[in-house]
Structure 1
Amino acid sequence: MTEIHDIAIIGGGASATLLAWNLRHRHSRGCVVIDPGPQPALGLAYGTRSVENLLNVPASGMSALADEAGHFLGWLRRKIAPEIGAGAFIPRAIYGLYLQDLFRQAAPLHIRARVERCAPDADITTLHLDDGRCLRARHVVLALGHFAPPLLPGIPADLLESGCYHHQVWAGGVIEAIKPTDPVLLIGSGLTAVDQIMQLRAAGHSGKITIISRHAQFPSRHAPAPKLDAPVIAPGACAPRCTAYLHLFNAALKQGIPWRACIDSLRSVTNQLWAALPPQERARFRRHLQRRWDVVRHRMAPRIAEALDAGLASGTLSLRAGHLQKIEAVADGLRVTVRYHDRIEILHAAHVLNCTGPSLRYDRVNSPVLRDLLDRKFARTGQGGAGLDTTERGQLVASDGTARQALYTLGPARQGTLFESIAIPEIRGQAYDLATTLDGLLTQAPLQDLCA
């Protein structure tokens, strides 16, 4: 008979690592982690090897443990350098080493395979792997992390194989394919674009980089700000409407409170405020306010902001508002058609990089296990098709609105229900809570009871 595991985690990135660590160190429970990657714990975010890709939060805010705020800073001072300050912005590659250390401490059974099918049945779920094996588990957690960005319009199929258009900028060999003086065009101006700019310059690229996005805005920069005693928008303090939230936020600004302090004060209540909004108000926020929020919420390290400012001032960087219309291969590279409000412009580039960020449309991503769960109605997407619909505990909601199966998720997938669910502070809290939930369920129904 196939062995029955208590907990199986599908995915091996940061979310899986934090959950496995909490299970082991808070509840003395092991688990199995199923992920095909050779280096678990890194995922898409922390697999970079470039020291120019910095965390966008100071070291003091990047503890992976919900109840030990100084854990990462202490690890840095023990493992890297004792003089590292709380406000330092650390390379993401070093944070990846930190996560790998936590993964080793958690010591899960790591199975290098991909789950293609997930079959819940009564108290046991059977996982069918791509190598032909099957694994049985009492509780299954999807920790799938981020997926490749959505396909851009106007991209012919043959361009994907040209080596000049790069759909997945984190794939190996992208930076290496670009010559030092090649003109490069980036689609999108968020943190993904910032990372690519810094990697290109670190690799010796000196050519012109043009960045095209709808709003032509880089993320704001970090700067000192006072810590407020209470959020500037308290849950229940006003009607659950975007305009009411904006009114309170603007009132705080008029009182002289710095905008960074206002934004940071909301971190602990953002998901509560979001949950209170009716669906039509959430859709309104996504349409009109999402980009403005992203610019001020997800900030850059000061050193990176200074480098971008210098590039813009010298003309080696160009940030422009526009919409991509199409890309065509021509003799000397790529011909890019961009629409700016009432006019069309033709740009030429040797390489185009898709920097629009990860896809949240889980009904469209390339994941066999997600497709299987959605097709067989064991799961459904969240509002607007983003992520997955879940309960407050992270349990998957089926297509009929029930949550009967022992299937859970955490991290980016929970953006189908939550507003904030991709940053370490949110993920570490979810990992802590989910580990406690799973331990409680297993304590109530030990394996011997199941097998009796």
Structure 2
Amino acid sequence: MLLVQLAHLPGGPYDVDVHLVEPRAVPGPGLAYSARRKEYLLNVRAPFLSAFPQEPNHFLNWLAASKTPVCPSDFCSRQTYGKYLQQLTESVLAWPAANGLRFFCHHQKAVAATLTQDGRSATVQLADGHEIRSRRVVLALGNFPPAPDLRLSAEVRRHPGYHSNPWGPQALQNIAPHHSVLLIGSGLTAMDVLLGLAADGHHGPVTVVARSGRWPSVHGPLGQSYLSFYANELAGLTSVAEVVRVVRRHVRQAQQQGQDWRPVIDSLRPDLGRIWQAWPQAEQARFLRHVASIWSVVRHRSPPQNAAAVQRMLDAGIVRMQLGKVTHIETAGTDLQVEVTRGKQRQQVRVQHVISCTGPLLDYSRIPDPLVSSLRAAGHLVPDALHLGITTDEHGALCTAQGQVSDVFYTLGPSRRPAYFESTAVPELRTQAAALAQHLQPFLAAD
């Protein structure tokens, strides 16, 4: 999205080359939208998925022009959205933009980035040994595979029944229809995995282990709204308890008036970043401990058809929910022995496959990616104190270990959760991309 926004910047001509470093054969879809399964649906409706904040109907118009099959209930497949992003990216890479920017794609992985001696640019090293010297480097790294907070032995990690990344290219392919499976987590990733297993004809027992025992909420009807109450009641509140109290009161009022609760939550979306930023770090930590899991359930919802499919599996007894936390996994021959803890109770569950559905790894102090590791070791990239992403300024410029703001390294996307908390969905990402492109525009002329 940043690439596309740069290409659409007004002015110029800019005598600047823009390099996209992307190891995947097809640039654009990334990890989230490369899935080749039609049952993996987006959890945001099509009318809200335009890549351009200023053109809200762009994705809908693309669907009509490309004669894509109708998306059921406005929920398109991830694969469909991947094609949309692929075409946008390819159109930028095909020729210089009207503003003079030239775009190049390197199908390589970046393994390191080091500042030049004068500190005014960086050299990015690619896996094949080539180097790219650049005045600005933007880390658009997306999400990293799940990593449960477990100390797993090398034997478990190598076990064919342990699936650390359900989105990997060969993920889940060795699960036979009758195999027993355990999922860690009950969020949207777990629901996608269940739908994928069902599409493959899986009928073996599936145990879902989750501390809350909650599934994501279901999307309500389109077209409902609720008047924003941020300016009058939430602006300036500095504690989680105060904000939760106000939101709960509005949910009760809506329900008493026969209205759905979802639009109340949705009305907060434009101001979520400001609510988060108004809390001191201690309050943000309190939110993460006590409210974040419930917030995830009510905020990140599932398409109705997905929720109905999972409910059918539950009713049929194929899937069962087990309250608790996975605290240990060890090998047991061809199986895996999983310890599930709930309070003082410990239970052993023996299964043939364990799939981590805990969501992406956000803690940049634990991310083993070589590029991240090199920047972290050099003090150019500083993980935030709450382990949500990277410490940045308001424009996404990385803050160094010395507390300075870099004028070379930037980031956007999930890595900016410390600033916004909500920084993963398309409406937030496209806004960040447009804002960062505009912030970089004066440097394009200067460079």
Asked whether the two chains share a fold, i.e. TM above 0.5, the reply is: yes
Instruction: Give the aligned residue type for 1:183.
Output: S
Larger deviation, residues 322-331 vs 292-301 = 322-331
2:29 aligned partner: 42
2:6 aligned partner: 23
Instruction: Give the aligned residue type for 1:227.
Output: S
- Secondary structure of 2:269's aligned partner: coil
Contact map agreement 1:127 1:135 (CA 8 A) in 2? yes
Gaps of 5+ in 1: 1-17, 448-452
2:96 aligned partner: none
Contact map agreement 2:27 2:90 (CA 8 A) in 1? no
1:441 aligned partner: 443
The 2-side partners of 1:128 and 1:173 are apart by 28
Q: Give the drift of 1:418.
A: 1.8
Q: Pick closer, same or farther for the CA change 1:109–1:238 going to 2, 3 Å.
A: closer
1:70 aligned partner: 57
1:368-406 deviation per Cα after TM superposition (whole angstroms, max 9, x unaligned): 121111111112112313210111111111112211332
Instruction: Give the aligned residue type for 2:57.
Output: G
The 2-side partners of 1:381 and 1:83 are apart by 42
**237, 240, 244: which one aligns with 2:238:** 240
Instruction: Give the aligned residue type for 2:79.
Output: A
1:139 aligned partner: 136
Q: Give the drift of 1:334.
A: 2.1
Q: Give the drift of 1:328.
A: 2.6
Larger deviation, residues 152-161 vs 307-316 = 152-161
1:15-39 deviation per Cα after TM superposition (whole angstroms, max 9, x unaligned): xxx0000111234765210121212
Report 1:207-356 matches (<5 A): 207-224=204-221, 226-231=224-229, 237=235, 239-256=237-254, 257-331=259-333, 333-356=335-358
Q: Give the drift of 1:120.
A: 2.3
- Secondary structure of 1:255's aligned partner: helix
Contact map agreement 1:238 1:245 (CA 8 A) in 2? no
Instruction: Give the aligned residue type for 2:342.
Output: Y
Counting aligned pairs with the same residue, the percent is 34
1:179 aligned partner: 176
Q: How many residues align?
A: 427
Q: Give the drift of 1:172.
A: 2.5
The 2-side partners of 1:178 and 1:84 are apart by 29
RMSD: 1.8
Q: Pick closer, same or farther for the CA change 1:114–1:154 going to 2, 3 Å.
A: closer
1:284-319 deviation per Cα after TM superposition (whole angstroms, max 9, x unaligned): 000000000000100000000001111111111111
The 2-side partners of 1:400 and 1:339 are apart by 41
Contact map agreement 1:382 1:415 (CA 8 A) in 2? no
2:39 aligned partner: 52
TM-score, normalising length from structure 1? 0.90
Contact map agreement 1:222 1:300 (CA 8 A) in 2? yes
1:200 aligned partner: 197
Contact map agreement 1:233 1:245 (CA 8 A) in 2? no
- Secondary structure of 2:166's aligned partner: coil
1:41-64 deviation per Cα after TM superposition (whole angstroms, max 9, x unaligned): 122211111101000011011111
Contact map agreement 1:154 1:325 (CA 8 A) in 2? no
The 2-side partners of 1:337 and 1:60 are apart by 43
Gaps of 5+ in 2: 94-102
TM-score, normalising length from structure 2? 0.91
Instruction: Give the aligned residue type for 2:212.
Output: H
Q: Give the drift of 1:154.
A: 5.3
1:348-386 deviation per Cα after TM superposition (whole angstroms, max 9, x unaligned): 211110111110111211211211111111121123132
1:205-249 deviation per Cα after TM superposition (whole angstroms, max 9, x unaligned): 111111001111111110126212324575754531101101111
